[in-house]
Amino acid sequence: MSDTADTKQMAYIAAQAADARVNLEIETEGMTLNIGPQHPATHGTLRIVVRLDGEQVISAEPLMGYMHRGYEKLTEVRTYPQVTTLVNRIDWLGSFANEVPFILAAEQLMEVEAPPRAQWIRTALFEMSRIANVVLFLGDMGVQLGAVTPVFFAFRDREFILNQIEAVTGGRFHPNFDRIGGLKDDLPKGWIDETRGVLKRIRNFCDEIETLVVGNEIFQSRTRNIGVIPADIGLSYGLSGANIRSSGVDWDIRRDGGVGLVHNELDWKVWTHPDGDSFARFWVRLQEVRESCTMIEQILDGIPSGPVMAKVPRIIKVPAGEAYVETENPLGVMGYYVISKGDLTPFRVKIRSASFNNVSITPWLLKGVYVPDVISILASLYFILGDIDR
């Protein structure tokens, strides 16, 4: 190598190095912000690592598992009646709804069917747990956006629903009321009339939320066109429940193939919204609460008489086999895949919980939004930490 070439090359390298240094000095570095695991907006211990440029999100990554309680593994060493009491802690706000698909799967394996009265009451409680769950979302969304009052309304009126659930099952949060082959007990006297009054309150609450939150222009400007999920992207991430219905996908397992529940004998409507933004998700959920009220009213009118428990042996041994049952839970589709080897305990249970899939879309969805919108989008996706980590 000649001298000239060498100096040229040296000069080139020096120039490159100088450029790089200048770049380093001028370029503003992004900032990494840990939202969670302890953060008011994640209501639980979800951790989202976002890289920020100013207040704009460059990338976001949800890290889950801070609340893993190992229910899938635990079911392998618990008898079937014991499993119901575990799984209703998955989505703790709508706990009765967690028991239903598991019980249905076990019933499928045992080839028993709950008597009609049990099915109707089951459906009523199922919808009531949906109300208890979603009502809190309707209030919580306000808090995430800075309005303090709606959440108190939500807690206030959810209390009435919980009271009704408690009056039947004995548990406000963890009913453990569903049994393989029916229900633990029948309704107490006077419950049906009281529930009618409670439903009126819930409708009233929906109206209040409609004027206080939905009609508020600030709320609309914060949620409209924020976090838009196109239907195909949503489906490819496995979104379900109100999250996908608000993207215009008309899909509800309660209508399209529910087993063991009586939704198909009722007159109701699946709500969808074409926009797919945060506002749509809020709106669809609001309508679903009202729809649930309609359903429960019809159920209260039409509960058939009869026993609430089919003939089931006292010690439950489930014959060998596999079953997968999914239902439309408050947060979305929840399914249990139960494998039995004929023992007292399941051999393996796989739980498909809705929030896990719903949160998985966040890296795609949060790209390019601002920090305040991160919160409103997360709130509108509506996850429950227990439902993500199980």
Partner 1 sequence: MSVVLADLAYWQETTIRLVVGLIAVLLPAGTLVYLFLFKMMSFMQSRLGPMEAGPYGSLQLLAEVGKFLQKEDIVPQAADRLIFKLAPFVVLISTFLLILVIPAGPDLWFIDVDTGIFLGLAVSSISVIGILMAGWASSSKYSLLGALRATGQLIAYELPMVLAVVGVIIQAGTLNVQEIVMAQATGEIFGFGGIGNPYVITQFVGFLIFLIAVQAELTQPPFDMPVAESELVTGYLTEYSGLRFLMFFIGEFATAAIFSALAATLFLGGWYVPGLEATDNLFNVIGPIILLGKMLLVAFFIFWFRFTYPRFREDQLQQLAWKVLIPLSLVNIVITGVLKVVF
Partner 2 sequence: MRKIKLPGLIKGLGVTFKTLVRTLTKGSHTVQYPHVKESPPPRARGVIALHEENCTACMLCARECPDWCIYIEGHKYKAPPRRPGGKPRKKNALDRFDIDFSLCMFCGICVDVCPFEALFWTPEYEYSELKIADLLHDKTLLSQWMETVPDFEDYEAGSEAKKLTVPQ
Of 192, 228, 235, 312, the residue at the interface with partner 2 (CB under 8 A) is 192
Which residues, in sequence order, are bridge partners of residue 63?
47
Q: Which residues contact 234 (CB under 8 A, 6 or more apart)?
A: 243, 244, 247, 249, 276, 361
The H or E element that residue 232 is part of is helix 231-236
Question: Would you count residue 298 as binding partner 2 (CB under 8 A)?
Answer: no
CA 47, 51, 53, 55: dihedral to nearest 10 degrees?
Answer: -10
Residue 349 phi/psi, 5-degree rounding, is -130, 125
Long-range contacts of 67-72 (CB under 8 A, 24+ apart): 67/385, 67/386, 67/388, 67/389, 68/389, 68/390, 69/386, 69/389, 69/390, 70/390, 71/351, 71/390, 72/348, 72/349, 72/350, 72/351, 72/390
Of 47, 51, 68, 184, the residue at the interface with partner 2 (CB under 8 A) is 184
The answer to whether 352 and 333 are in contact (CB under 8 A) is yes
Of 43, 47, 59, 85, the residue at the interface with partner 2 (CB under 8 A) is 85
Of 6, 19, 61, 166, the residue at the interface with partner 2 (CB under 8 A) is 166
Which residue from 174, 181, 358, 322 is spatially nearest to 260, judged by alpha carbons? 181
Question: Would you count residue 306 as binding partner 2 (CB under 8 A)?
Answer: yes
**Least distance (Å) between residue 331 CB and partner 1:** 20
**Least distance (Å) between residue 243 CB and partner 2:** 25
The answer to whether 240 and 358 are in contact (CB under 8 A) is yes
CA distance 212 to 232: 33
**Least distance (Å) between residue 64 CB and partner 2:** 24
Task: Classify strands 178-179 and 348-352 as parallel, antiparallel or unpaired.
Answer: unpaired
Determine the interface stretch with partner 2 among 18-26, 45-53, 56-64, 210-218 (rule: CB under 8 A). Answer: 210-218
Query: By CB neighbour count within 10 A (0-12 exposed, 13-18 middle, 19+ buried), where does 54 fall?
Result: exposed
With CB under 5 to 8 Å by kind, the binding choice for 76 among partner 2, partner 1, none is none
Of 2, 23, 29, 190, the residue at the interface with partner 2 (CB under 8 A) is 190
With CB under 5 to 8 Å by kind, the binding choice for 117 among partner 1, partner 2, none is partner 2
Determine the interface stretch with partner 2 among 19-27, 37-45, 102-110, 299-307 (rule: CB under 8 A). Answer: 299-307
Question: Measured from the CB atom, is 33 or 249 closer to partner 1?
Answer: 33
**Least distance (Å) between residue 218 CB and partner 2:** 7
What are the tokens at 295? 């359903």
What are the tokens at 387? 């439902």
Of 30, 37, 171, 238, the residue at the interface with partner 2 (CB under 8 A) is 171
Question: Measured from the CB atom, is 150 or 234 closer to partner 1?
Answer: 150
User: Running DSSP on this structure, what letter comes out for residue 321?
Assistant: E
Determine the interface stretch with partner 2 among 58-66, 185-193, 260-268, 281-289 (rule: CB under 8 A). Answer: 185-193
The answer to whether 71 and 51 are in contact (CB under 8 A) is no
Site for partner 2 (CB under 8 A): how many residues? 46
**Least distance (Å) between residue 154 CB and partner 1:** 10
Q: Which residues bind partner 1 (CB under 8 A)?
A: 31, 33, 39-41, 55, 142-149, 152-153, 156, 212-213, 216, 218-219, 221-222, 370-375, 379
Question: Would you count residue 218 as binding partner 2 (CB under 8 A)?
Answer: yes
Question: Measured from the CB atom, is 222 or 245 closer to partner 1?
Answer: 222
**Least distance (Å) between residue 305 CB and partner 2:** 3
What are the tokens at 158? 């959810």
Question: Would you count residue 146 as binding partner 2 (CB under 8 A)?
Answer: no
Of 65, 197, 304, 313, the residue at the interface with partner 2 (CB under 8 A) is 304
Task: Give Dmax (Cα) for the chain.
Answer: 103
Question: Would you count residue 307 as binding partner 2 (CB under 8 A)?
Answer: yes
Binding stretches for partner 2 (CB under 8 A)? 78-79, 81-82, 85-86, 117, 149, 153, 156, 159, 163, 166-172, 174, 176, 184-192, 208, 211-213, 215-218, 220-221, 303-308
